[in-house]
Structures are given as structure tokens and as C-alpha cells.
Amino acid sequence: MKKLIFCCLVVLMGACKDDKKDPEPEADYAPSFVGVYETITVEGGVTSRYKWDITTETKNQLNIKYTKNTEITISGTKVTLNQEYPLVAVKTTAQDNFEINEKVNVTQSTGEALNVRVSGIGSRIVNTNGIPQINITLKSSEASTSLPDEEIYLEFKKK
């Protein structure tokens, strides 16, 4: 009888043993996005050059120095507007995806103050030419004006 009780205890202790090992550390996807990405759009006499300089300081978080340089030709005269959006809390959500959702104080060449909410989900792919790129539908809105929200699809190619 003692042997039977002992065997039951051994089996019971084995069943209660914690089989979980140390949890796997969360993967850091941010470093794979680091680099400079650019794209250009031309529409109705307006040329916009977009540049993202992506860095990382924290696990799964990106900093994007987003610059937008716009040239408008009106009656043969070029008018330019340069804007810088410091995106500092961009979260990587998977190996090839990240999410932007933050309010930004935009620095403009006109000197005028601009506070914008920028949002979108970026997806990294390799295009048919073998060049890494980030595709994103970027949304921006400014609460202080009655201007409509802007939504633009962009394909940033890595330089």
C-alpha cells in the first residue's frame, strides 16, 4: 500500500510540475525599418517630395523625421512650402508593419504654427525591382481649421 501511495504522489507531483519555461522575449522589429525612404507625387501643377528618415531608440518604437516639400507653380511662379513632422512614437506591430497615431507640431517654412494628427498603418514590402519600400495611406487632420482631412496613399522607396 505504501508503494502505491508513493507512486501516486510521484505521478501527481509530475503532473503538477510547471512545464513552462522562461517566456520568450518579445522580438524587436524596429531596427529592420531604419533608413531613408523617399517618394514624389505630381498632381495638377503641385509637386510634393516626401522623405522619411527612420531611426530607433526603443524596442519596437520608431522615430521618423518626416519632411514634405511642396512646389506649386502659379502663373509661371514657383511657390514652395517645406514642412517637418517629428514622429516620435511610431509603434512596430509586426515584422513588416508599423502604426502611426500621434499629434505633431509641424515646423513650416512659413513660420506659421500647425498642429496635426497623423495616422496610418505602414507595410514594408520588396517591390518588383528588389527595392524595399513602405506603403501607407497617411491621414492627417487639423482640428483648429475647417479644412477637410487629408488622406494620401504613398509608396516610400528605400534609398
Q: What is the predicted pLDDT for the residue at 142?
A: 84
Q: Name, in order, each residue with C-beta under 8 angstroms of 157's C-beta and a sequence gap of 6 or more.
A: 37, 38, 39, 127, 131, 132, 133
pLDDT > 70? residue 61: yes
Where do the domains of the chain lie, and which CATH numbers do they carry? 30-158 (2.40.128)
pLDDT > 90? residue 23: no
Which pTM was predicted? 0.80
Q: What is the predicted pLDDT for the residue at 138?
A: 95
Q: What is the predicted pLDDT for the residue at 82?
A: 97
Average pLDDT over residues 144-150: 73
pLDDT > 60? residue 18: no
pLDDT in tens, 64-96: 999 999 999 888 899 999 999 999 999 999 999
pLDDT > 70? residue 122: yes
Q: What is the predicted pLDDT for the residue at 109?
A: 96
Q: Name, in order, each residue with C-beta under 8 angstroms of 126's C-beta and a sequence gap of 6 or more.
A: 132, 133
Q: What is the predicted pLDDT for the residue at 47?
A: 96
